[in-house]
Structure 1
Amino acid sequence: MKFEQTIFRDDNPWFIGETRLSYLILNFDQSYLGRSILVPKNETPDLESLEEGAVGPLMLEVAQIGRHIKTEFKADRMNYASLGNVVAQLHWHLIPRYEDDLNWGAPPWPVREPRTPSDAERQSSIQRIRRVVALI
């Protein structure tokens, strides 16, 4: 399974935007406020399949976006996950972690109480992330 290209369009209510190297979407589960998924534009199944010269710039972008999300949402930590077990296309889960979240001190999965945001919360989070991603 791969990401459908249609999710990377403005008519997708979860689409945040794009950078030079990747697309960013808000995760449906917002148990961790600001949780997002970053998908490189260069479609590849995994990190080791990228050309050597492409790894550094992409990882820098992942770190920059994570740093901005952490700051914007006042997270205590950021978790980064690139698993590829379900979606065989390179992507990262950018997961802000908070000392008061139900899984603090443990991995972010399984989520004990998944939370779908209201439309207003979703739009607010997307606008906040768009604002900080524009700094990159």
Structure 2
Amino acid sequence: MIKICDLEVSQVFLFKEQSHLGRCNVVYKDHAVEFHELSDTQRNAFMKDVARVAKAIANAYNPTKINYGAYADTISHLHMHIVPKYKDGYGFGGVFEMNPQKVMLSDAEYTDVINKIKNGL
């Protein structure tokens, strides 16, 4: 992943694998494993960061739908996958693959994606 920026209670990373253009991961800054470990204030601040990133992706790329995933069987740190899905695009209508290794970008393309997302934040 490539770090995009810090937000109020999280860090935002761009996945290098971009089968879903704009796919990011929002990672809670403090140590937590489960949502239920957070206070209402902490949880609300984290979800505000998640929504903020999703809105930036939506504005930059106009996906048909944004999927959210909090998968972490082997990673002991709270994070949320933000996966933009595009009609007629890879995996539309199904559960996204974690790392299909289908689309890698050039350095210039990664920079462009990061800048578009940052500009929306």
- Do Structure 1 and Structure 2 share a fold, with TM-score over 0.5? yes
- Say if 2:20 and 2:90, in contact at 8 Å, map to a contact too: no
The amino acid of 1:87's aligned partner reads I
2:21 paired residue number: 33
- Say if 1:103 and 1:112, in contact at 8 Å, map to a contact too: no
Which residue, 48, 58, 74 being the options, matches 1:70?
A: 58
- Identical columns (%): 25
Which residue, 98, 111, 115 being the options, matches 1:123?
A: 111
* Structure 1 outlier segments of 4+, above 4 Å: 110-113
| Count of matched residue pairs | 121
The amino acid of 1:105's aligned partner reads G
Question: Once the two structures are superposed, what CA deviation does each residue of 1:11-59 show, in whole Å capped at 9, x if it has no partner?
Answer: xxx1100111110010021000000110011221121111232112221
Cα RMSD (Å): 1.7
Shift of 1:114: 2.1
Shift of 1:60: 2.1
- Say if 2:17 and 2:100, in contact at 8 Å, map to a contact too: no
Taking the aligned partners of 1:88 and 1:104, their CA distance within structure 2 comes to 29
Residue 128 to residue 44, structure 1, CA distance change in 2 (3 Å): same
- For normalisation by structure 1, the TM-score amounts to 0.81
- Report the 3-state secondary structure (helix = DSSP H, G, I; strand = E; otherwise coil) of the residue aligned with 1:53: helix
Taking the aligned partners of 1:38 and 1:110, their CA distance within structure 2 comes to 15
1:85 paired residue number: 73
Taking the aligned partners of 1:111 and 1:28, their CA distance within structure 2 comes to 9
- For normalisation by structure 2, the TM-score amounts to 0.90
Task: Give unmatched runs, 5+ long, in structure 2.
Answer: none
Taking the aligned partners of 2:116 and 2:86, their CA distance within structure 1 comes to 18
Which residue, 12, 16, 32 being the options, matches 2:4?
A: 16
